[in-house]
Structure 1
Amino acid sequence: MDKFFEKTPFIDNVLKGIGQIMLQENRWTGLLFLIGIFMGSWQGGIAVILSTAAGTYTAMKLNYSKSEINAGLYGFSAALVGVALSFVFQTTLLIWILIVAGGALAAVIQHFFIQKKIPVFTFPFIIITWICIFLLHHFTQIPPSEMMTAKIEPADYDDFLTCTNGFGEVIFQGGVLSGIIFFVAVFISSPAAALYGLAGSVLGAYLSHINGEPIDKIHMGLFGFNAVLSAIVFSGFKKTDGIWVLLSVLITVVIDDFLIDKNLLSEVGGVLTFPFVAGTWAVLLIQKALLKQKK
């Protein structure tokens, strides 16, 4: 299989870009993510392929760093734009055009921040998706997708599966099996990242439950997926890694619950992964401040 990917580096870069959604530079992780997305809807699967390919192709044509392209750094925000738009709206011609254009734009924005050495994670995806959803809701009559209108019974979920549902909701997948596949996909790349992510999902769900958030949405993983990403960022084998994971999850959950409770971002499609980005930025600033004190 390695020879196949050596002959088809573009496919390899696209799969790694999808894997980087959860910070994993691993083609097999990306492939499992793609399978899980297709299980949710074929439109989502096609959308993530198109948007990731658009982001990767744009990076190649603009002569961005080959090592960065090979690592999938221009694919993950693009991938999320594609799956988000196909999840929120019925896939009309305009939506398909925006999926491709949004994927390309995500790569350009990602490159700007990489050049500035600013770790923005999924922020390009957030900005593009917020703008698209706001404009589409206000200036078009495109109906919501079937996934948005489908009713999911709370009985379909339980406390045990809440852990992996947090993984699924990172990529807009509410299916139990998709969540399990996503967890396994991260585990084969980095067991530490997967287990810390699982702990983050549990902690995020527990803290949100204490805060009085709707139990059905907690079981779906809607209050755990940002915590999963925050935990993965700081995962590792040092003793101090656990402290940073705990701090990042706590800050992320506080931001997440606050924004949802105040309904501040409903006009632009919700919080998306912004609590993860904001929480991670906060912890990175704390780490930077402590490092300065030591010097």
Structure 2
Amino acid sequence: MLMRPHISYLLRSMLNGISQVFLQRHLGCGLLVLVAIGLHDLALLAGTVLGLLSGTFTAWRLGYPRDDIETGLYGYNASLLGILITLMLGLAPLACLLTILSGAISTPVQHHLLRRMRERRSLPGFTLPFVLLGWLAMGVCGVLEAVVEARVPEHQLDGWGALGGILKGLGQVLFLPDPLAGLFLLAALLLADRNAAVWTLCGSAVGIFVALLAGASEPSALAGLAGYNPALAALALSQVHRSALAPALGIGLAIIFRLCFDQLGLPPLTMPFILACWAVTLGTRQYQRQGEWQPS
């Protein structure tokens, strides 16, 4: 007979789940991420928690491995969906229902991606369930332009200047165009992994400055919209590669893929980050195969 999940187990799973947005399993990191969201917007915090509960509880009910649930692997996609849907619709009953449904659907999708990665060495899914379901939710709600506009501040410059823009690049991972939120997220990463924090900051900085050099408007660039995908790519690749080359390539590719999505007129969400990591991973595997095939 199935037992109810213990409160402490559920709490650990949820805190790890939100920290997994930044590829960390760290309770303190997760707590600071929630604080960052709550300081910016309590409604977004409520949507985040609802998504976390939906994804985590669904995984428990489906009998997925306990370690995966507690590590937070079924929480981060659902939490991002909760933030996105709340950003679009607020905390209306329809938004809560969509958050619960999308969080629940993301769980078996994530389970399938994890199984393929472990059994067949398929590419990691990262935030792919969030991207696919996020696009679907945005299409159903018909507010694609409204979401984009909501993330761009009215003023061209603020007191934080370039540093504020870089911190906003971290915040935009969670749709938070706020340097204070970015500062809390940086503190969360520093608490969990200093190397990851440095690479994330570098990715955001490069993405924003390249956007400015390429002629992007100051409001768009300094809102962090060009920074969050390179930041995530640098973070993810620095976790699995000792060389600085891989995260550096990831930063460049994430910028290029972001430009492609801009040309298509499709909200990129975190897809440029995913594509950049896939490209570097495939390139690394091909290089390793060629090294194995060389005659001794």
Partner in structure 1 of residue 265 of structure 2: 264
- Asked whether the equivalents of residues 166 and 225 of structure 1 are also in contact (C-alpha less than 8 Å), the reply is yes
Partner in structure 1 of residue 191 of structure 2: 188
Deviation digits for residues 161-196 of structure 1, max 9, x if unmatched? 222211100000011100000011011000000001
Within-5 A mapping of 1:1-295: 8-117=8-117, 118=122, 119-137=124-142, 148=150, 151-156=153-158, 157-236=160-239, 240=243, 242-260=244-262, 262-265=263-266, 270-295=267-292
Give the direction of change, closer, same or farther, for the CA distance of 1:89–1:150 in structure 2 (3 Å limit).
farther
Query: What amino acid does structure 2 have at the position aligned with 1:31?
Result: L
- Asked whether the equivalents of residues 37 and 45 of structure 2 are also in contact (C-alpha less than 8 Å), the reply is yes
- Give the 4+ runs in structure 1 shifted more than 4 A: 236-239
Give the direction of change, closer, same or farther, for the CA distance of 1:15–1:130 in structure 2 (3 Å limit).
same
- In 2, distance between residues paired with 1:33 and 1:279? 24
Deviation digits for residues 23-64 of structure 1, max 9, x if unmatched? 011111111111111112111000100101110111111111
Give the direction of change, closer, same or farther, for the CA distance of 1:110–1:237 in structure 2 (3 Å limit).
closer
Query: What amino acid does structure 2 have at the position aligned with 1:148?
Result: A
Give the direction of change, closer, same or farther, for the CA distance of 1:236–1:130 in structure 2 (3 Å limit).
closer
- Asked whether the equivalents of residues 232 and 273 of structure 2 are also in contact (C-alpha less than 8 Å), the reply is yes
Give the direction of change, closer, same or farther, for the CA distance of 1:252–1:150 in structure 2 (3 Å limit).
closer
Aligned residues: 280
Gaps of at least 5 residues in structure 1 are 1-5
- In 1, distance between residues paired with 2:239 and 2:29? 18
- In 2, distance between residues paired with 1:92 and 1:208? 36
- Asked whether the equivalents of residues 166 and 224 of structure 1 are also in contact (C-alpha less than 8 Å), the reply is yes
TM-score, structure 1 as length reference? 0.90
Measured after TM superposition, the shift of residue 210 of structure 1 is: 2.0
- Asked whether the equivalents of residues 165 and 174 of structure 1 are also in contact (C-alpha less than 8 Å), the reply is yes
- Asked whether the equivalents of residues 192 and 237 of structure 1 are also in contact (C-alpha less than 8 Å), the reply is no
- In 2, distance between residues paired with 1:115 and 1:253? 30
Give the direction of change, closer, same or farther, for the CA distance of 1:248–1:144 in structure 2 (3 Å limit).
closer
Give the direction of change, closer, same or farther, for the CA distance of 1:38–1:228 in structure 2 (3 Å limit).
same
Give the direction of change, closer, same or farther, for the CA distance of 1:49–1:236 in structure 2 (3 Å limit).
closer
Gaps of at least 5 residues in structure 2 are 1-5
TM-score, structure 2 as length reference? 0.89
- In 1, distance between residues paired with 2:35 and 2:95? 22
Query: What amino acid does structure 1 have at the position aligned with 2:59?
Result: A
Measured after TM superposition, the shift of residue 264 of structure 1 is: 2.6
- In 2, distance between residues paired with 1:36 and 1:42? 10
Give the direction of change, closer, same or farther, for the CA distance of 1:7–1:109 in structure 2 (3 Å limit).
closer
SS in structure 2 of the partner of residue 152 of structure 1: coil
Measured after TM superposition, the shift of residue 88 of structure 1 is: 2.2
Measured after TM superposition, the shift of residue 257 of structure 1 is: 1.8
